[in-house]
Structure 1
Amino acid sequence: MERSLKNVLVVSFGFLLLFTAYGGLQNLQSSLYSQNGLGVATLSTLYSAVLLSSMFLPPILIKKCGCKWTIAGSMCCYVAFSLGSFHASWYTLIPTSILLGLGAAPLWSAHCTYLTIMGNSEAQKSGKLSKDVVNQYFGIFFLIFQSSGVWGNLISSLVFAQTPTQETISEEQLLSCGANDCLMATAASNSTQPPSQQLIYTLLGIYTGSGILAILLVAVFLEPVKDKLETKGEKRLSSPTFWSTILSTFTLFRDRRLCLLILLPLYSGLQQGFLSGEYTRSYTTCALGIHFVGYVMICFSATTSLCSLLFGKVSKYTGRAALYGLGTATHLSCIIVLLVWHPHPTQLAIFFLLPGLWGMADAVWQTQNNALYGALFEKNKEAAFANYRLGEALGFVIAFGYSSFLCVSVKLYILLAVLSLTMVAYGTVEYLESRATGEITAAGKKTIQEEKGEMQTEM
């Protein structure tokens, strides 16, 4: 097995183990800790910390510690969150969510930087286009990583299935489910009996063990890597200063492409926040019960995982614009259905179908967004991916922040509006890139013609 692919697999399986724990726990927050809005408050605080972390920490940690140890150290913050959940309260979940948030941005920025460097290195060896290899590596990563949702949710469903028989949900209560839900996060989603504390401890024990294994895997088997762009003739004469490293995240906004593209990660955060916060509580838990949350979210994770590999491979044939079009059309359709659909236990197939379609579109955002940022900002990867995490964290903060104040229908209309604006901004960037490429090509042809003219004159 080639060295680059081996390292990609180590990173991928490390994230698989880590997010088997965190993903399953995140999906249960709004349902498991609905009292006084603790669940969504925890998630909102967590992503507020991610937002703060994205502004300062990723470039500094990656430069000082390297991608490998930034990934390993950040994973420890996720394990701390699992440990804090053993005694869930405002005094344990809020501090550990802040710690997790501070580690999340460096974790994702280091992982994106690592895969981009590995892809560029392999492309140079094999003579392939960098963007194709990077796209392929991100596809492999997200195939393995997104399957973490399958295992994390399967574990939670199997554990919580041991809860005593659920009470029947009344027709009157079903009327307040779905887009009609205006009870917000402070009210219980239904009258079903919650899982026992013993079952919750069992689940948290499994999740904590999975996170520890992820840290050990990365620390032992992942190879350190350096960006070859800096090891050739373009090597820097001196290391960047502390403040210039911090400011690199913000100075990149002078590039108008980044200003337009910031809507992509913003929408990515909003749509993921809606699915894990609103869909799990206002649709699944409200109409079926909390023990169905894991099974429903498995459909999302499975389709995202499989489609990530597929889109990573076919993007070089279809182009990224076609995939973005597919993702947009799919999410628009799902949002419209969620607005008009009245959830009922007899419509079981729909509860699974919608997350599946949602996951197919999410695979577009995950693979193409990361590859796009890596391709457009190759010389400023750390700062670019830090900005990506900043935008995505802002989307999560907004999604969980207004969770307790707005009806589900209003949140769906917000998603609809942001998605529309995002695609207009993305289309503008594609137009600017195609025009710039055309100008470079035209300039190259002109130079060749001038050289031929000079040669003929000399003759």
Structure 2
Amino acid sequence: MGDRRLQLLLPLLLYIGLQSAFVAADFTLYVVRPALGVAWIGGAMSVFGVANSLACMAAARFSSGLPSILATLLIGAACQVAVLLSLLLLGAITATPWLAFSLVLLQAVLWGVGDAAFQSQINALLPLVFPSDMDASFAHMKMWTSAASSLMFLLSPLLSLPAKAALLTLSCVVSLPLMLAGVHVP
């Protein structure tokens, strides 16, 4: 952890773990279930998975170096921040069935695109930032994303949906400039 580049990338690694746990636990429980019912949790997560898969394929096709990797990460962050802001401003939509259905599936698509950007591009970014120490960088990535995911699951019953959405928004917004600084540290 003495490497300044890793210290600057750490908030992004933590965010990746937090957002993974959020979609698995909180998005399904506090967004999909109230809006669409328990029967639609699998459908909404399938939409998330398809969007995630397609976005991963697109990211792999268009990522060919540091500028495109960073652009893909910024697009993914914009998608997830849009979902988080909609949750902060609107909460879970349940009033109008067609609006709830449309909004939840759009949120699932956007979250899937964002997750694909983070999950795929961090794997492309680490070898560029740590070319001589890839094994350690991937070990740190897995350790910190897993720790953050576990923390989010642990804190989940203690925090409200707006508190989690605010925490994730802040975490995402703070981690991006630090990540940009981290990739440019000699």
- Match for residue 357 of structure 1 among 98, 103, 110: 110
Higher helix share goes to which structure?
A: 2
Partner of 1:222: none
In angstroms, what is the RMSD of aligned CA positions? 1.6
Alignment pair present for 1:264 and 2:12: yes
**Which amino acid letter does the alignment assign opposite residue 263 of structure 1?**
P
TM-score, length of structure 2 as denominator length? 0.90
Alignment pair present for 1:299 and 2:69: no
Alignment pair present for 1:279 and 2:27: yes
Q: Which stretches of structure 1, 4 residues or more, deviate above 3 A after TM superposition?
A: none
SS of alignment partner, residue 158 of structure 2: coil
Partner of 1:14: none
CA deviation map 1:69-109 (0-9, x unaligned) = xxxxxxxxxxxxxxxxxxxxxxxxxxxxxxxxxxxxxxxxx
Alignment pair present for 1:340 and 2:74: no
Alpha-carbon shift at residue 334 of structure 1 (Å): 1.1
Is this contact kept in 2: 1:335–1:416, CA < 8 A?
Answer: yes
Alpha-carbon shift at residue 286 of structure 1 (Å): 2.7
CA deviation map 1:241-267 (0-9, x unaligned) = xxxxxxxxxxxx221101111222210
Q: How does 1:41-60 map to 2 (within 5 A)?
A: none
| Alpha-carbon distance in 1 for matches of 2:179, 2:22 | 22
Task: Provide the aligned length of Structure 1 versus Structure 2.
Answer: 181
SS of alignment partner, residue 25 of structure 2: helix
SS of alignment partner, residue 316 of structure 1: coil
| Alpha-carbon distance in 1 for matches of 2:129, 2:70 | 15
Partner of 1:320: 69
**Which amino acid letter does the alignment assign opposite residue 326 of structure 1?**
I
Alpha-carbon shift at residue 377 of structure 1 (Å): 2.1
| Alpha-carbon distance in 2 for matches of 1:381, 1:322 | 22
| Alpha-carbon distance in 1 for matches of 2:30, 2:112 | 18
TM-score, length of structure 1 as denominator length? 0.38
Query: What's the % identity of the aligned pairs?
Result: 27
Alpha-carbon shift at residue 382 of structure 1 (Å): 2.2
Is this contact kept in 2: 1:304–1:359, CA < 8 A?
Answer: yes
**Which amino acid letter does the alignment assign opposite residue 52 of structure 2?**
T
Alpha-carbon shift at residue 291 of structure 1 (Å): 1.6
Alpha-carbon shift at residue 313 of structure 1 (Å): 1.4
Q: How does 1:191-230 map to 2 (within 5 A)?
A: none
Is this contact kept in 2: 1:263–1:391, CA < 8 A?
Answer: no
Structure 2's unaligned 5+ residue stretches are: none
Alpha-carbon shift at residue 390 of structure 1 (Å): 1.0
Partner of 1:427: 180
Alpha-carbon shift at residue 403 of structure 1 (Å): 0.7
Alpha-carbon shift at residue 365 of structure 1 (Å): 0.5
| Alpha-carbon distance in 1 for matches of 2:157, 2:151 | 11
